Each structure stands twice: as structure tokens, then as C-alpha cells.
A and B are shown apart, each in its own frame.
Chain A
Amino acid sequence: MTDKIIDYEKLKSGGFMRQLQQGQFALRLRIVGGRVEADQLRVLADAAEKYGDGHIHITSRQGVEIPFVNIDDVNNIGHDLVDVNLRRGTCGPRVRGVVACQGNTVCPRGLVNPQDLAQKIDEKYFAAPAPHKFKIGITGCPASCLKPQENDFGIMGGVEPKWIEDLCIICGLCQEVCRMDAIKVEDGTVYFDREKCDLCGDCIASCPTDAWENVKTGYTIFIGGKIGRKPKLGTKFVELVDEDTLFDILERTLNFYRENAKSGERIGETIDRLGIEIYKEAVLK
């Protein structure tokens, strides 16, 4: 097979990345939200010994790669992995693997289920063509462990608190708990500054009398984040949308990107060039 012409682009879209070493490839796997089952790990370990050099690389985006796969083995390795539902990843100008924290499936602070959402987004958009790479990250609360602001499309869980005067005992706890200085307990009442609130829900979780009620759970979205040579954090452009709206916005965002990007542009650069208002008009209906 080595004497054939190698189609690097095709290999790349199938998760094989050319290594520095001649004829060697690293196989990237399709991992969603950093979740790998135990049986998959066993098969991965075996595959790394059989086709690679016996080690696995954990990537910065919760991915798993098997380096040092010989060009002659690129067609064989997939068969071993498919039995445990390990699929090949992707690179190049496409929607990349979705990263996500564990959110409310494990973390006490989690406000939404990023794992479930990551699966759904991955099913629908994995490796979908785009003008350049398109990264999606989901984090379960404003603590931002999964850094949604560093992604082209970043998603953050949030809740909207509402104060119920009749239940409040004016203990002052919520003021101390709030990191955003959004609550003042003064003169026997509570002042809430919605502009300062980052929708973390700490007041709801702490209030001893449940005088803070969660009136809405949803997703806050950041657009245009990237790291690389010219790092830039994503811009928050909508708060607390429901899941259907989120999927509508994502669909329209990819269409906007495909229609408007100049060659080699990440979506943040396209939006910087055209103006965020134009983008918002195109995706928020």
C-alpha cells in the first residue's frame, strides 16, 4: 500500500494525522464529553499495543489518540474498535469533537446535563464541514471548568433566581454567598441586581428558607472564542435559552459561518469583520 498515492485529506477527515515520522499516523478517536467506558479502555489498550507503540495520548480536548499506527494498518485498526462502539475522530475544517464537563450528572454545582447535550450535538453535527475548524464546548455552570469562552461555540448552563419576599428571614447569607455582588441585604429587605448576576444559582442552593426560587433553567451561549496564535475569548450573546432554541441557533450559526467566512477564517474573525449585530440578526429570531 505504501507505493500508492496517499490521500492525506481523506485520512485527516477520518481521524488519521500524519506524524513527523515517515509513514506513521496518529489515530484520533471520537470521544464525546470525555466519557470512555471501561470496555472501550481495554480495547484501546490492546489496539495501542497491536497497532501503535503501546501508548495512548490524551489530548487537550478530552480526546484519545493512538500514535505510531503504520500506514499499512490504517484500514485494519478500525475493525477492532468498532465492536465497542469506538469510532474514528476527525480533524481539519469541520465540527470537532464536543467537550463537556459532567455537570449535574456528578458535580454538586451542575445546573444542566452537558453530557447528554454533548451526545445530541455530536450525533447531529460531528465532522460536519465548515470553513475552518469549529469547536464546541459545554460547561455545567458559570464556574466554566470546560472553558466555553475558548470555543467557537461555547455553551454554559445557568438558572435565573427570583426572590420571594414572604419566605425571606433577612439572614444575609445570600449576600455573602454571591460572588458577583448582585445581592444586597439592607434595611430589612433584599436588593437584586440582575445586570450583575451571572446565573450561577448559589443563592438558590444556599438560602435556608428557599426564598430564592429558580424560575428558569437554560443555556447561555458564547460565540467566536479561540486560542491559537491570536487568542480571543468568545462573546456572550444570549442567555438562558432552552434546548430547542439552542439547536436552532447552532444550525443558523453554521449556516452563517458557511455563507460568510472568507477562506481560512474562524467564525470569531468573520463576526469581527462583519459586526456582532449582523451575526445576532442572522441567528436570533
Chain B
Amino acid sequence: MSASKLDITKSIDTCGDVCPMNMVKTKFALKDLSTGEVLQVMLCGGEPIRNVSRSVKDEGHRIVKLDKQDDDTFIMLIEKGE
């Protein structure tokens, strides 16, 4: 699967960050976007994915895609909410 159909406005890599830094980085990156724009986040499985997806949803944004990479990391596409 590829994410190329969606226009990605910004991209960040949170692999290597410990919780809750991945969440905080994602939050700040989303701040800079306008509603409807898409943020691409690279993150690790397990706790980071749980925390980031929960907080993204709680704040009214929408995860539009999640792709697992060969090295067990993930690429998450988040559409900025209102």
C-alpha cells in the first residue's frame, strides 16, 4: 500500500523519541497545519501508536491511513481537524 494519493503537507519522524515526546511532537506539528491538510508521522509500534492515535482522536483530528513498514515502524497520515 502506498500513501501517494494524499497530499502530504508536512512530515515528521518520531522513531527514537520516547513517550510522550512523540505525542507532543505530533501535536506541535499539527498546530502549524490548516484544517484538511495532512501530516505524515513516522512512529514505532506498541505504546507510541496507542498514545498518538488516542490523543489525535481526542483532539478532533482524523487518522486517514496507517502503513506498516518492513522494519516494523509505521507511517501514519493524519488529517487536521477543525
Residues of A within 8 A of B (CB): 108, 169, 171-173, 176-177, 202, 205-209
Residues in B with CB closer than 8 Å to A208 are 53, 56-57, 62-64
Tell me the bound Cα distance from A205 to B63 in angstroms.
12
Tell me the bound Cα distance from A195 to B24 in angstroms.
35
Tell me the bound Cα distance from A202 to B52 in angstroms.
12
Residue B29 is within 8 A (CB to CB) of chain A in the complex: no
Tell me the bound Cα distance from A206 to B56 in angstroms.
9
Tell me the bound Cα distance from A207 to B62 in angstroms.
9
Residues in A with CB closer than 8 Å to B62 are 208-209
**Total count of chain B residues near the partner, CB < 8 A:** 15
Residues in B with CB closer than 8 Å to A169 are 64
Tell me the bound Cα distance from A129 to B53 in angstroms.
48
Tell me the bound Cα distance from A51 to B66 in angstroms.
62
Residues in B with CB closer than 8 Å to A173 are 49, 53, 63, 66
Q: Is B57's CB under 8 angstroms from A176's CB?
A: no
Contact with A along B25-50 (1 / 0, CB 8 A): 00000000000000000000100011
Tell me the bound Cα distance from A108 to B54 in angstroms.
10
Residue B10 is within 8 A (CB to CB) of chain A in the complex: no
Within 8 A of A (CB), among B10-32: none
Residues of B within 8 A of A (CB): 45, 49-50, 53-54, 56-58, 62-66, 68, 74
Q: Is B66's CB under 8 angstroms from A206's CB?
A: no
Closest to B53 in A: A206
Most chain B C-beta atoms within 10 Å of own C-beta, residue among A108, A169, A207, A208: A208
Q: Is A205's CB under 8 angstroms from B54's CB?
A: yes
Q: Which 4 A-B residue pairs are closest in the complex by CB-CB distance?
A: A208-B63, A206-B53, A171-B66, A173-B66
Q: Is B65's CB under 8 angstroms from A202's CB?
A: no
Nearest-neighbour CB distance to chain A for B71, whole angstroms, equals 15
Q: Knowing A172-B68, A205-B57, A206-B54 are in contact, say whether A177-B63 is a contact too (CB < 8 A).
A: no
Residues in A with CB closer than 8 Å to B74 are 176
Closest to B74 in A: A176
Tell me the bound Cα distance from A90 to B50 in angstroms.
41
Tell me the bound Cα distance from A192 to B9 in angstroms.
35
Nearest-neighbour CB distance to chain B for A170, whole angstroms, equals 10
Q: Knowing A171-B63, A208-B62, A208-B63 are in contact, say whether A177-B53 is a contact too (CB < 8 A).
A: yes
Most chain A C-beta atoms within 10 Å of own C-beta, residue among B49, B56, B63, B64: B63
Residues in A with CB closer than 8 Å to B50 are 177, 202, 206
Given A169-B64, A205-B57, 6 additional A-B pairs, CB 8 A: A171-B66, A176-B45, A177-B53, A202-B50, A208-B53, A208-B64
Q: Is A176's CB under 8 angstroms from B54's CB?
A: no
Residues in A with CB closer than 8 Å to B63 are 171, 173, 208
Q: Is B57's CB under 8 angstroms from A206's CB?
A: yes
Closest to B63 in A: A208
Residues in B with CB closer than 8 Å to A172 are 66, 68
Tell me the bound Cα distance from A207 to B50 in angstroms.
10
Q: Is A171's CB under 8 angstroms from B45's CB?
A: no
